[in-house]
Chains A and B, each alone.
Chain A
Amino acid sequence: MSIIKFDNVSEKYRIKFVRENKISWEEIWALEGASFEIKEGEVFGIIGQNGAGKTTLLKLIAGMIIPDSGAISVAGKVATLMELGAGFNAEFTGRENIMVNARIYGLKEDVFSRTVEEIIAFADLGKFIDAPIKYYSQGMYMRLAFALAIFINPDILLIDDILAVGDTEAQHKCIKRVMELKESGKTVVVVSHDMDMICRLCDRALLLEKGKVMMQGEPEKVIATYLEASGDKRGIAVMERSGLRVIFNNGKLSISYNGIALTNKQAGYMAFLMPSNTWNFSSNLYWEAKKLPENKVLAEGKSGDGSVSQSWAIALEDDYLCIEAAIKGNFKEPHVDLMFSGQYDNWKTLHEDGVFPSFMHRTNWQDIGMTPSLGRTLALTGSAEASGLPGLVFEVADRDSKTKLLNTGMEFGCHVVQLCLNSTNSISFRMAVFPERKKLEEYLEMKRSQQEQGFGIVA
């Protein structure tokens, strides 16, 4: 049963522009023809760039504003966790604000004073509960708003990116509570820029772009669509061929196969050590990606001061992908990190194989210690074939570049193929896709016999 329903809802704002003492009014559509439904008991994520209309959408659900056209039905009591100012009067004390809001939310008379005491106890603000909230820190304000939102026992809780402002403990408390609400069948709508959080918490997600609903569905897919489109448009190129989809987005390379993301959200990138001994990444450069005929992309990136430049040439064939990457300038230890989904837990070279160990640390990376000399042909396979995850074979053309396998920390949960650049600061490799395990084994067998006969690697 849907608890929130938007039917072709539009909301526009008239905005005053003052330029060189000339005043002009423009109409801006904050939301345009939005239609969607949220089911009871769902945790629903809303993502999109700043100014996409996310907060407007939440405000419409909360009834804080009224749509200019379209119909909204919301069946239940709504509580909101929004930025400072919404629903709280800065001049009133914490206690007064709680009283006013508890009343507005229609708390029953017989439990009113007890509930107010409970909220105050949960917020745990000490003597600050009797100080005007303009003197509160962001964290204190959040605790108060959160306590209120929980104890008025809403059917629907709206959370507007507020999770980002608290410290780790406050965030954790929030997430824990969202989980509890979900378990008790409450509906939660979350707006967040933290894609990991959306991915972990939400059952479904919705992508907004310039006030329009671009996509809704499984969080993973919606997030992937969002990430490929966000960023400077000049640095984005998308290629697709027989199920294989490659997106180069301002120095990040993501790969998917038949809609399944092979790379994690961190994608693939080139890392290099700056003279100041800090790591920098290709995603920090300014990119221009040119699409060439026959599924080829040439991307050039420069750092802001021009001290480092990179070029990537990517070619997509039916079942493999060729990448040549080079870097110039002032840096050390350049390498390419390809961050693959944690489901790829088996690796194989021509003569060895093994399993990625389980993640050891929370954030630290861990070298799984594969013999580097054998790294020029490398296969990755998932343990569960049924998931549709294809096997991957990497072949590095350069003889003097090393390959490493690493685990990221638990938080990213990726298995990393790290390809070090050769002595001329370039690398050329290909990645072939094998949907069938048997084909992959046959291919490796062929490579093995070629190597024994003394052939080189065909890249």
Chain B
Amino acid sequence: MVKERLHKLYLSRRVLWDMTVRQLRANYAGSVLGLWWAVVTPLLLAVSINFIFTVVFKVTMRNYYLFVLAGIIPWTFFINALNEATNSFAVNRSILKQGVFPREIVPVSCVLSYLLNFFIGFVFLLPLFAFANLKAAAFIPALFVLALLEFIFIAGLSMLFASLNVLWPDLRCMLPVLFMVWFWITPVFYSQEMLAFPLRWITIFNPVTHYIVAYQKILFEAKMLSFSNLLGLAFLSFLSIAGGGAFFIANEAQLLKRI
């Protein structure tokens, strides 16, 4: 059954690509800066966080803005993709009714479009990291692997959230709060070491932490990820895609009736 679905997904790869491109275009349709927003948004976020924490709260980390930037780029990828994908079944209602293609394409194409978005942002922001520490540039291949793992992780969650959003309308009201809390418990603007242990468990149990920390390690500390590190992330990604996929398949019939 899984094999059959994967085969169908493969056959519909053009649909996936078309929907991804259209989604990417739709995100910036009509805006003057267009794709440049992929660069501007994380920069603005990093600048404002930098201002709050170095000027107002007097954090004394060297190159703090780079640290924040290293975490905020994968975080915005995560949160924007998930947010968009959550609504994707409702937005693409008409296409779902067409029936002849694998419907998981809908949330996955959303996530894929944000992956492209993420890469576009990176192309322009990477020089910043390389300027601070030239070694970071050497780990670009590792970054790709990491981005791919994060993509798989988000894709799994996106299927879960998109399905839940249809089946359980309360989710829509809960999301803004959920996403905000999620942001605070992810070490984007603080490092995990700043937290003492009972509290630190919160961040450890938050799966997104491990992806963000990996990005920070490569970009900010300019260190290579260890093999066990990668293996752990791969395991998380697999867990997410298997769980999200299973939830979606189990509820697909119910979902189509509710849309």
Interface of A with B (CB < 8 Å)? Answer: 13-14, 59, 62-68, 77-78, 80, 85-90, 96, 99-101, 103-106, 109
A82 to chain B: closest CB distance in Å? 8
Q: Is the CB of B98 within 8 A of A87?
A: yes
User: Is B33's beta carbon under 8 Å from chain A?
Assistant: no
Bound CA span A105–B11, Å: 11
Distance between B170 CB and nearest chain A CB, rounded to angstroms: 15
Q: With A65-B257, A68-B253 known to touch, is A78 a contact of B94 (CB < 8 Å)?
A: no
Are A86 and B94 interface neighbours, CB within 8 A?
yes
Contacting pair B100 A66 (CB below 8 A): no
Pairwise interchain contact B256-A65, C-beta atoms closer than 8 A: yes
A85 and B100 in contact (CB under 8 A), knowing A103-B14, A103-B18, A106-B11? no
Kindly list chain A residues whose C-beta atoms are within 8 Å of the C-beta of B19: 100
Tell me the minimal C-beta distance from A135 to chain B in angstroms.
16
Task: Indicate if B7 sits at the interface (CB-CB under 8 A).
Answer: no
Chain A residue numbers with a CB within 8 Å of B14 are 103, 109
Q: Are A104 and B100 in contact (CB under 8 A)?
A: yes
8 Å CB contact of A87 from B11, B18, B94, B256: B94
CB of B257 within 8 A of CB of A104, answer no
Q: Which B residues, 139 to 157, have Cβ-Cβ distances below 8 Å to chain A? A: none
Contact string, B60-97, partner A, CB cutoff 8 A, digits 1/0? 00000000000000000000000000000000111111
Collect the chain B residues with CB atoms within 8 Å of residue A104's CB.
Answer: 12, 15, 95, 98, 100-101
Chain B positions near chain A (C-beta within 8 angstroms):
11-12, 14-15, 18-19, 22, 92-101, 252-253, 256-257
- Whether the Cβ atoms of A90 and B256 lie closer than 8 Å is no
How many angstroms between the C-alpha atoms of A209 and B99 in the bound complex? 26
3 tightest A-B CB contacts, nearest first: A66-B253, A63-B99, A64-B99
The interface residues of chain B, by DSSP majority, are classed as: helix
- Contact across chains for A62 and B100 when beta carbons are under 8 A apart: yes
Q: Which residues of B contact A106 (CB under 8 A)?
A: 11-12, 100-101
5 of the cross-chain contacts (CB-CB < 8 Å) are A59-B99, A86-B98, A87-B95, A104-B15, A106-B100
A90 to B92 alpha-carbon distance, docked (Å): 10
Known pairs A65-B256, A99-B18, A100-B18; A105 contacts B94 (CB<8 A) = no
Q: Are the C-beta atoms of B95 and A64 separated by less than 8 Å?
A: no
CA distance A106 to B101 in the complex (A): 9
Residues of B near A62 (CB, < 8 A) are: 98-100
Chain A: CB-nearest residue to B19: A100
Known contacts A59-B99, A63-B99, A106-B12; 18 additional CB pairs below 8 A are A14-B257, A62-B98, A64-B98, A66-B252, A66-B253, A68-B253, A80-B98, A85-B97, A86-B97, A88-B94, A89-B92, A100-B15, A100-B18, A100-B19, A104-B15, A104-B95, A104-B100, A106-B100
Q: Name the B residues within 8 Å of A99 (CB-CB).
A: 18
| Chain B residues, Cβ within 8 Å of A100 | 15, 18-19, 22, 95
B258 to chain A, nearest CB (A): 9
A261, chain B: closest CB distance, angstroms:
38
Q: Which residues of B contact A13 (CB under 8 A)?
A: 257
Known A99-B18, A100-B18; judge A66-B95 contact (CB<8 A).
no
**Residues on the A chain within 8 Å of B95, using CB:** 87, 89, 100, 104
Cα A262 to Cα B243 with chains together (Å): 64
Question: B98 contacts which of A96, A101, A109 (Cβ < 8 Å)?
Answer: A101
Question: CB-CB < 8 A to B100: which residues of A?
Answer: 62-63, 77-78, 104-106
Closest to A87 in B: B98
State how many angstroms separate the Cβ of A190 from the closest Cβ of chain B.
Answer: 19
Q: How many Å from the CB of B89 to the closest CB on chain A?
A: 13
Partner of A89, one of B94, B253, B256: B94
A77 to B101 Cα, complex, angstroms: 11
Shortest B55–chain A CB gap in Å is 44
